[in-house]
Chains A and B, each alone.
Chain A
């Protein structure tokens, strides 16, 4: 089962990051929200409407997985086709082409586009309806670093004001820079949801000490100390309140353990993601 009892709420006007390992159900969830895939049970609402209903789709722009267009049509003609299906005026085409910086190549056939240009055309298509909600699935796939930076800026700008962005990505750095809140999905369920600060809460202590085995043994006996991980180069990462650094230093030294480094480490989103997806059991 790709998605099982997944529950999330995305607030109006925020950029919500949807993150999870490959096969965790992200794209299936997005396809369900768009009415492309039907859930076997349960229900969901999109902007208060049934997923896939014309009322909901009229207010949503989406770029799901790789951008899919007609290869024999130009970028502009592809947008014309979608504008017709969406009931949107052709007048919207030039502004969205300009917004993704594709105006000059708009009359070239889609099959001649680079991957980055295809992504930008996908983004232009998602913006055609000037949607309240943007659903973007890996929008920076295939982009070079400059393209990724441009896309990040574009998404960040799109997320301002009343427009809501639901962004699925593997790139933690990207999410860290763009998103207001993040939901981590594993095996089809949300296992953690919150703002970046909430997710990164639980700073750790980084310790370099000799002998390592003695330090681990001692630390694991201390009250209030959580997991002790062996990091790169013999460093130990300790789950503990950072304000107890001095106390831990004293205990170790008194036990004859040489402490050469002890500092507070702020967790990256990537490390939070890895620790969550490697260990955590899905909520609810």
Chain B
């Protein structure tokens, strides 16, 4: 518990984490509400979806879950990957593992306290984005004279849980990369390239090449999109960095694969932390 409080203090006092949270909220609301609503009010053909009632309906409160959850596997994942990589990688950059590991707590206790603190820190990432999305959708409803209907509570709770789970996997991935690379720069670089480029390429070519199709079924974004699609979310099918052009898997399979990834990331990181010599700042 003591180490958890220490790690929460570290996360809370780091300005970079608040910047990531703000950027994530801005990106999610911008792409899920502001731009689509601008397209609707400007009568633009927004990404080929068409305009009019269909576009407006997606922005109303009853479609809150379907509209905002799409942001989690892409923007959200990338943001918290950076947060995870910063939280762990900075310890190597600053050499702060030495004082942390020479207190009473021990290596694994410090590491798991950090993981738990990250998991707790992800809660506002989920709650605030849903809160802002709710406010945006209510504002649009009110402005367009539409009735305000809330999504079913169970759907909302499932979406909150799925969103947190997706972010947890990506944050653990950031920690994993930081532990392996003993720093932040390479971890963030590799993580972003993986999330934005490699997964997209594999998913795209998976339509033509069977092997890549098989590989894509264990990738983070494929399973992330598959998980939220099982909540009734329509996946973004456009090409581009945030688009998803691969085949989705079942919700259960996605949840299992993501849970497996989470366990593997944490287990390997913990094993490396436990065994590897701790030298000075890198």
- With A58-B104, A71-B94, A81-B10: A37-B280 Cβ-Cβ less than 8 Å: no
B8-22 contacts to A (CB < 8 Å): 9-10, 13-15
B71-123 contacts to A (CB < 8 Å): 90, 94-96, 98-106, 110
Contact call B94/A80, Cβ cutoff below 8 A: no
Across-interface contacts of A35 in B (CB, < 8 A): 101-102
Query: In the docked arrangement, what's the CA distance between A93 and B94, Å?
Result: 22
Contact call A87/B104, Cβ cutoff below 8 A: yes
B164-199 contacts to A (CB < 8 Å): none
Which chain B residue lies CB-closest to A65? B280
Query: In the docked arrangement, what's the CA distance between A36 and B274, Å?
Result: 10
Q: Out of B3, B90, B96, B280, name the residue touching A84 (CB < 8 Å).
A: B3
Contact call B279/A60, Cβ cutoff below 8 A: no
Contact call B100/A82, Cβ cutoff below 8 A: yes
Is A136 in contact with chain B by the CB < 8 A criterion? no
Is B281 in contact with chain A by the CB < 8 A criterion? yes
A78–chain B nearest beta-carbon distance, Å: 9
Across-interface contacts of B9 in A (CB, < 8 A): 73, 77, 80-81, 84
Query: In the docked arrangement, what's the CA distance between A77 and B8, Å?
Result: 12
Name the prevailing secondary structure of the A interface residues.
Answer: loop
Contact call B10/A70, Cβ cutoff below 8 A: yes
* B interface footprint on A35-65 (CB within 8 Å = 1, 0 otherwise): 1111000000000000011100110101011
What band does the interface of chain A fall in when counting residues whose beta carbon is under 8 Å from B?
20 to 34
Across-interface contacts of B210 in A (CB, < 8 A): none
Contact call A36/B6, Cβ cutoff below 8 A: no
22 pairs, A vs B, C-beta closer than 8 Å: A31-B279, A53-B106, A54-B104, A57-B103, A60-B102, A62-B102, A68-B95, A68-B280, A70-B90, A72-B14, A72-B15, A73-B9, A73-B13, A80-B6, A81-B100, A82-B103, A84-B3, A84-B9, A85-B104, A85-B105, A87-B103, A129-B103
Given contacts A62-B102, A86-B104, 19 further A-B contacts (CB under 8 A): A31-B277, A36-B98, A52-B106, A57-B106, A65-B98, A66-B95, A68-B95, A70-B10, A70-B90, A81-B10, A82-B6, A84-B2, A84-B5, A84-B9, A85-B3, A85-B100, A85-B103, A85-B110, A125-B99
- Point out residues on B near A: beta carbons under 8 Å: 2-3, 5-6, 9-10, 13-15, 90, 94-96, 98-106, 110, 277-281
